[in-house]
Amino acid sequence: MPEWLLNFPAMTPDALRSVTRSIDAGYLSFSRAFGDAIESFFDPLLLLLIWFEQILLRTPWVIILMVLVLIAYGASRNLRLVAGVLIAFLLIGYFGMWENTMRTLAIILVCTVIALMIGIPTGIWMSRSDRVQAIITPVLDVMQTMPIFVYLIPVVMLLGLGKIPGMLAVVVYAIPPVIRLTNLGIRLVDKDVIEAADAFGAGTWQKLARVQLPLALPNIMAGINQTIMMALSMVVIASMIGVKGLGQPVLQAVTNQYFALGLFNGLAVVGLAIVFDRVSQSYGKRLQQHR
């Protein structure tokens, strides 16, 4: 049998090396040239995150706890849920994880807000045009399947270690569900109701605000929920590039085989996730009382 059938006719190692080298060199010179500019572009976000983190860290824990309880009650009107939130945070505090939890809370909230601010309009845009959908869908596929570490490399090369690359990683990882489900939700809105809105001469904006978004709300809420969950699951990985919070002790525990330390902090992440999930879900349900 000829040689080229037995072994895949790959490019020579030298050629491959020169390709990867030239890409690396190109990216390196790009990051040298524009790294500072891009970093300063993200400065406002950094300031926002630091400001919010400081508020959470400096406010006495009792007040934070009260605010959390009030938010949980306001969103759900469910006393059992409120009691759950209270117990979760009391346990977190008692086991000495309050500060790290506040740091994680800060980055998760900021990342979620950014993800929603970008994701919901993107989803709306996608729902309005099949062409836009055809372009964005593969991008989302890449974002969701590309191993996180792979896109951490260029981000860290560009921006170094720290909060900003961490936030970018979290947002990139967490944004696809809200985009996808906003798009899907709007596309699934009952065609009859859309037709009725058209027949009464509703404008594009009226139709979006009064018909499409409210009727797509269950799906959009599911997307928001998923986005929050995915942001939380990125906490540990983000800690590898220098984001402080509950991820760091977990990372420490992994490298040093501290089982209990890992477990406690891991449970704190789970606790945060459940609180976020239940509160946002029941808020979503309250918005749809008519069903």
Partner 1 sequence: MDETHGQIEEMQSAIVLQRLTKLFGPTPSDVLPFVHQGLDKNKIFNEHGHVLALRDISLKIETGKVQIIMGLSGSGKSTLLRHINRLIEPSAGRILIRGRDVLSLDKQELRKFRQHQISMVFQRFALLPHRTIQDNVAFGLSAQKATSSAQRETANTWVHKVGLGGYENSFPAQLSGGMQQRVGLARALATGAECLLMDEPFSALDPLIRTEMQDLLLELQSELGKTIIFVTHDPDEAVRLGDNIAILKDGELIQHGAPMQILTSPKNDYIRTFIQDVNRGRVVSVGTIANGETKTCDGPDIVATTPLAEAARLLTNHPDVSARVVTEKGHPLGSVTLTSVVEAMAAR
**Closer Cβ to partner 1, 141 or 190, answer by number:** 190
**Closer Cβ to partner 1, 162 or 218, answer by number:** 218
- Work out how close the CB of 187 gets to partner 1 at its nearest, in angstroms, rounded to a whole number: 17
- Work out how close the CB of 222 gets to partner 1 at its nearest, in angstroms, rounded to a whole number: 17
By CB under 8 A, is residue 290 in contact with partner 1?
yes
Give the footprint of partner 1 on residues 51-80 (CB under 8 A).
Answer: none
- Work out how close the CB of 290 gets to partner 1 at its nearest, in angstroms, rounded to a whole number: 4
Query: How many residues line the site for partner 1 (CB under 8 A)?
Result: 21
**Closer Cβ to partner 1, 212 or 265, answer by number:** 212
- Work out how close the CB of 284 gets to partner 1 at its nearest, in angstroms, rounded to a whole number: 13
By CB under 8 A, is residue 36 in contact with partner 1?
no
Give the footprint of partner 1 on residues 203-232 (CB under 8 A).
Answer: 203, 206, 210-211, 214-215, 217
Query: Quick one: three-class SS letters along the chain?
Result: CCHHHHCCCCCCHHHHHHHHHHHHHHHHHHHHHHHHHHHHHCHHHHHHHHHHHHHHHHCCHHHHHHHHHHHHHHHHCCHHHHHHHHHHHHHHHHCCCHHHHHHHHHHHHHHHHHHHHHHHHHHHHHHHCHHHHHHHHHHHHHHHHCCHHHHHHHHHHHHCCCHHHHHHHHHHHHHHHHHHHHHHHHHCCCHHHHHHHHHCCCCHHHHHHHHHHHHHHHHHHHHHHHHHHHHHHCHHHHHHCCCCCCHHHHHHHHHHCCHHHHHHHHHHHHHHHHHHHHHHHHHHHHHCCCC
| Contacts with partner 1, 167-206, as mask; x by CB under 8 A | -----------------------x-xx-xxxxxxxxx--x
Residues of this chain that bind partner 1 (CB under 8 A): 190, 192-193, 195-203, 206, 210-211, 214-215, 217, 288, 290-291
